[in-house]
């Protein structure tokens, strides 16, 4: 009731309910209990209705506690009666301050509140004092928790009074918000104290008996015959079966709620696991090599603490507390320093691994494993909603679309629900792992599985970007076909309990899917990826359950080391230029996939060998216990099926909603036959302070009016960059066509071209790179106002590799030289103007430099041929990256141009180039004025301090 009222009040009247008699938002930003529940409609009415619904159970708790207490003693104690009476007064006083709000009658409202608080002390202390005299493990567990809650309640009164005085007497800004937090904590302590009664009622049974039927049965039972005795036994058995069925039905309803909560915690696990390498990547990116922070990648290996019996027992009995530790690390977004966010995220990943991997050996391990895997699918759906970003990552905050705070609050609630449940007893490890190396196959298999899930299926667009081709046969596009990726994951999970999942034929089909996915491109690769998803998710629960039967310490150590080694190998295939031993895995993704498949095969064999571990032998169970277990297993399958269908449906809705409904429109009207182009190196969508930069990039590109832009370092479909699709995100938000450069499996850092004009055709090129990192290029033909214009976007090698840059630029010059269409070059060349590599590009490629007099360039260059240049600007990066935006405006020619004459004219004196000032251009052909002077958001015209016009 309180939480619903809080949410409704914040959604409907946030600034009104946080305002008090002295201050409002933003000085005060959290509402008090009274403001939430009594000040505004509809929160007040909803709260009062919910409180009315809960009043009956609250009175029932008092009555049941009294009956339970007196049943444990021979005569009713006066203390029990006093506690009952005080509890009744306390409950009635709750109704007083709930239904008579402070706006109705301030005095009566306050009296009701004071009576409630005054009764809370004797109620809590009397309950604890009385229960300490009672026997029973459950009762004593209730006493321990009641003591803790009562202590917290009493201790909280001091800050409550302090902050109230600060607000009421000293008028301190923000004091009432702090007072509100303490006030809300008292509410939760109060509810939790009554919730401890569940331990006391554990052995309590309530029976509703038809007295007439009971009397008739008593008369019949009084004959004392053997037949009646037998019939009585049958009735008892049937009653027992009915009781078990009823209990399981009730348990099933609660288990459904708990299952959704655990699925959300699974989402948090995958969010943190995928965030760690993403946060690490920021540091070597700026160091251009290993920074030492890479060691945090192994934070997950800390889960081997479960090998210590004491640690394992503590985690199993307080798993909710461990989840709560995980949740606390979600506040990393509050820390501006990137290293602090990395430390918190790594610790959160460690704690989450401990909590989840310990649950794989529990009696409810099948349920836990399915919730864990559905959490991964949920993360894919949520990333689809946020256009490939995860709203709880430490690179997100409110300014760029993060929902970190809301997600942390929801995760805290689910963690508390986990802590309210008894930990399931763990089953003993399989005998095979205790005296031999039989535990290794399961470990290798699970580590490889974790790697495959993270690498390929932690985002629904990764299987599509792995195989993308040029226009017009690009293959499947992320929107809407990403929905099929989610559906395939869900479908695989629903096959996991089938016998098919552990057959050799199915494994053979899975290996074939991996080969098709890795070795082909376009639609064939995507279809192979869908089959790979079905195959992998059908294996995942079996692999996890198999791991749960092994010695926990050594099996987790081997699994997580396998996962991390494969992950490093995957990174080494593209980052070989900057890491030790890089040439060994240079461009060898096929080898990494082969190692992954071999480890999956080993794990598959081990899982088949111990297939009996998927269920518990009925011979060791009491029949009623076996029945309860079978019903629980069926209930788990049912809720898994419903959740999977729900997620697949939600994924389809999200992707269908993302389909663009209108064609892109150029910024410059068609009658001018002009367009604006640009080039920008974007550092993988992480700004200089380690925040996701898509939103700021969108604002800069849109306000500059860029019709065509090349984005470099844009391939984010890797573990270290979060498996994000920045290209699709910007294409949708800017309403532009997109050409994603060489596929994610091609070992480049990526090129992307966004265009307001239709892409007629394009090809992706891997440029010669014998020494350094593999260079990429996109060669596209656009339909610009009815005329074909070619555009090349390229990212050449580093300064240290002169041979690479020569060969790469020579190949680019050859491509440029062969086209007869007008052409614009947007690239990263690494050369001084009129240097050797520059001359190869401009001379051999027969290109014109957009401004030969601009001597202060090194990386980015714009060239053209067959179009008329009308403007050129250099815009500062605004902290989004370390590289500026270069832009040029071009106009289509009515007649074919003379490349030699264009080139001679372009080298004329600087003042001649500037002869046409901005005033000679119509506004549609001018650069926007807001970037002059200090600019906006850190972006401004720099170097020349203004655009140049020609």
Single out the residue of 33, 172, 7 nearest to residue 102, CA to CA: 33
Sheet of 848-849: strand order equals: 759-767, 775-784, 787-795, 823-828, 860-865, 848-849
- The answer to whether 299 and 326 are in contact (CB under 8 A) is no
- The answer to whether 713 and 687 are in contact (CB under 8 A) is no
Q: What is 471-518 written as a DSSP string?
A: SS-----HHHHHHHHHHHHHHHHHHTTSGGGGSHHHHHHHHHHHHHHH
H-helix or E-strand spanning residue 762 = strand 759-767
Instruction: Give SS3 for 647.
Output: helix
Which positions ≥6 away from 246 have C-beta within 8 Å?
A: none
Angle between helical axes of 522-548 and 439-457 (0-180°, round to 10): 140
Q: How many angstroms separate the CA atoms of 17 and 681, rounded? A: 46
Place of tokens 């041929």: 865
Residues in the chain: 950
- The answer to whether 394 and 333 are in contact (CB under 8 A) is yes
Single out the catalytic residue among 397, 785, 795, 939: 795
Single out the residue of 404, 440, 465, 474 nearest to residue 551, CA to CA: 440
Q: Tokens standing for 377?
A: 């699918």
Q: How many angstroms separate the CA atoms of 220 and 391, rounded? A: 68
Q: Tokens standing for 558?
A: 């081997």
Instruction: Give SS3 for 754.
Output: strand
Label the pairing between strands 674-681 and 885-892.
antiparallel
Single out the residue of 533, 535, 462, 546 nearest to residue 500, CA to CA: 535
Q: How many angstroms separate the CA atoms of 524 and 517, rounded? A: 7
C-alpha torsion sign, points 533, 534, 535, 541: positive
Label the pairing between strands 823-828 and 787-795.
parallel
Angle between helical axes of 226-287 and 623-657 (0-180°, round to 10): 40
3-state helix/strand/coil string of 272-339: HHHHHHHHHHHHHHHHCCCCCHHHHHHHHHHHHHHHCHHHHHHHHHCHHHHHHHHHHHHHHHHCCCHH
Q: Tokens standing for 198?
A: 């569940």
- The answer to whether 439 and 717 are in contact (CB under 8 A) is no
In terms of Cβ atoms closer than 10 Å to its own Cβ (0-12, 13-18, 19+), residue 493 is buried
- The answer to whether 742 and 825 are in contact (CB under 8 A) is no
Q: What is 121-166 written as a DSSP string?
A: HHHHHHHHHHHTTS--HHHHHHHHHHHHHHHHHHHHHHHHHHHHHH
Q: Based on the residue annotation, tell me whether 785 is a catalytic residue of this protein.
A: no
Backbone angles phi, psi at 786, to 5 degrees: 90, -5
**What's the angle, vertex CA 306, arms to CA 300 and CA 307, rounded to 5?**
115
**Alpha-carbon distance values, 221 to 211, 217, 236 (Å):** 15, 6, 13
Place of tokens 């394009």: 762
Single out the residue of 811, 922, 822 nearest to residue 870, CA to CA: 922
- Return the active site residues: 795
């Amino acid at each position: 009731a309180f939480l619903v009222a809080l949410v409704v009040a914040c959604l409907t009247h946030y600034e009104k309910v946080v305002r008090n008699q002295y201050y409002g938002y933003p000085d005060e930003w959290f509402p008090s209990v009274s403001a939430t529940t009594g000040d505004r409609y509809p929160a007040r009415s909803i709260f009062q209705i919910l409180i009315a619904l809960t009043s009956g159970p609250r009175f029932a708790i008092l009555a049941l506690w009294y009956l339970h207490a007196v049943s444990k003693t021979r005569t009713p104690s006066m203390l029990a009666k006093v506690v009952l009476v005080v509890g009744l007064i306390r409950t009635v006083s709750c109704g007083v301050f709930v239904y008579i709000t402070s706006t109705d009658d301030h005095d009566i409202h306050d009296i009701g509140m004071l009576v409630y608080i005054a009764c809370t002390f004797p109620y809590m202390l009397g309950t604890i004092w009385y229960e300490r005299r009672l026997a029973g493990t459950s009762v004593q567990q209730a006493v321990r928790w009641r003591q803790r809650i009562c202590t917290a309640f009493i201790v909280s009164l001091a800050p409550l009074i302090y902050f109230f005085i600060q607000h009421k007497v000293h008028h301190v800004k923000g004091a009432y918000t702090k007072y509100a937090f303490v006030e809300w904590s008292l509410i939760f302590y109060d509810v939790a104290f009554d919730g401890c009664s569940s331990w006391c009622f554990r052995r309590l049974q309530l029976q509703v008996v038809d007295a007439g039927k009971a009397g008739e049965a008593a008369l019949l039972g009084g004959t004392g015959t053997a037949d009646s005795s037998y019939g009585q036994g049958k009735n008892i058995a049937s009653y027992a079966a009915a009781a078990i069925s009823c209990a399981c039905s009730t348990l099933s309803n609660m288990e459904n709620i708990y299952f959704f909560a655990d699925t959300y915690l699974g989402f948090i696990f995958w969010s943190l696991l995928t965030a760690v390498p993403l946060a690490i990547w920021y540091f070597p990116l700026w160091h251009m090599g290993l920074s030492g922070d890479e060691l945090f990648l192994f934070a997950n290996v800390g889960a081997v603490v479960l090998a210590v019996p004491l640690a394992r027992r503590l985690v199993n009995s307080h798993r909710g507390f461990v989840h709560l530790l995980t949740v606390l690390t979600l506040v990393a977004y509050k820390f501006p320093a990137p290293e602090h966010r990395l430390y918190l995220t790594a610790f959160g990943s460690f704690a989450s691994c401990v909590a989840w991997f310990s649950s794989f050996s529990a009696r409810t391990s099948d349920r836990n494993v399915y919730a864990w895997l559905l959490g991964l699918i949920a993360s894919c759906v949520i990333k689809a909603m946020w256009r490939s970003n995860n709203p709880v990552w430490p690179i997100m905050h409110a300014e760029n679309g993060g929902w970190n705070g809301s997600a942390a609050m929801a995760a805290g609630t689910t963690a508390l629900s986990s802590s309210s449940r008894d930990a399931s007893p763990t089953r003993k490890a399989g005998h095979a792992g205790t005296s031999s190396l039989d535990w290794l196959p399961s470990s290798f298999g699970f580590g490889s599985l974790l790697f495959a899930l993270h690498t390929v299926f932690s985002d629904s667009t990764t299987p599509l970007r792995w195989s993308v081709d040029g226009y017009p046969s690009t293959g499947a596009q992320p929107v809407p076909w990403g929905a099929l990726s989610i559906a395939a994951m869900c479908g695989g999970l629903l096959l996991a309990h089938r016998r098919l999942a552990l057959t050799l034929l199915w494994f053979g089909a899975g290996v074939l899917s991996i080969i098709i996915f890795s070795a082909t491109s376009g639609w064939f690769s995507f279809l192979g990826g869908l089959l790979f998803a079905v195959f992998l998710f059908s294996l995942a629960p079996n692999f996890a359950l198999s791991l749960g039967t092994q010695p926990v310490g050594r099996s987790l150590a081997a699994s997580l080391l396998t996962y991390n080694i494969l992950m490093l190998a995957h990174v080494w295939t593209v980052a070989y230029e900057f890491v030790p031993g890089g040439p060994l895995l240079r461009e060898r993704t096929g080898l990494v996939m082969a190692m992954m498949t071999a480890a999956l095969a080993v794990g598959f064999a081990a899982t088949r060998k111990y297939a009996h571990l998927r269920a518990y032998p009925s011979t060791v169970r009491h029949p009623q216990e076996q029945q309860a277990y079978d019903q629980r297993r069926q209930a788990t399958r049912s809720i898994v099926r419903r959740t999977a269908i729900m997620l697949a449906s939600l994924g389809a809705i999200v992707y269908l909603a993302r389909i663009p409904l209108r064609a892109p429109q150029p910024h410059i009207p068609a009658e001018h036959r002009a367009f604006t182009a640009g080039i920008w190196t974007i550092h993988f969508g992480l700004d200089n302070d380690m925040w996701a930069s898509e939103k700021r990039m969108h604002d800069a590109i849109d306000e500059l009016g860029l019709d065509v832009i090349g984005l470099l370092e844009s391939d984010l479909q890797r573990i270290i960059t979060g498996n994000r699709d920045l290209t699709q995100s910007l294409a949708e938000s800017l309403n532009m066509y997109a050409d994603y450069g060489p596929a994610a499996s091609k070992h480049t850092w990526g090129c992307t071209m966004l265009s307001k004009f239709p892409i007629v055709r394009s090809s992706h090129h891997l440029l010669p790179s014998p020494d350094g990192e593999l260079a990429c290029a996109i060669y596209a033909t656009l339909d610009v106002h009815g005329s074909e214009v070619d555009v090349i976007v390229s990212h050449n090698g580093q300064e240290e590799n002169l041979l690479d840059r020569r060969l790469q630029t020579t190949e680019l010059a050859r491509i440029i030289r062969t086209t007869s269409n007008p052409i614009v070059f947007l690239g990263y060349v690494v050369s001084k103007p009129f240097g050797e590599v520059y001359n190869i590009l401009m001379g051999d490629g027969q290109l014109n430099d957009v401004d030969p007099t601009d001597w202060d360039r090194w990386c980015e260059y714009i060239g053209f041929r067959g179009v008329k240049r009308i403007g050129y600007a250099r815009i500062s990066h605004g902290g989004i990256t370390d590289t500026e935006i270069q832009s040029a405006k071009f106009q289509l020619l009515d007649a074919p141009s003379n490349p030699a004459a264009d080139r001679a004219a372009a080298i004329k004196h600087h003042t001649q180039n500037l002869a046409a000032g901005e005033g000679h251009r119509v506004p549609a052909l001018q650069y926007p004025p807001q970037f002059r002077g200090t600019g906006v958001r850190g972006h401004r015209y720099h170097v020349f301090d203004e655009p140049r016009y020609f």
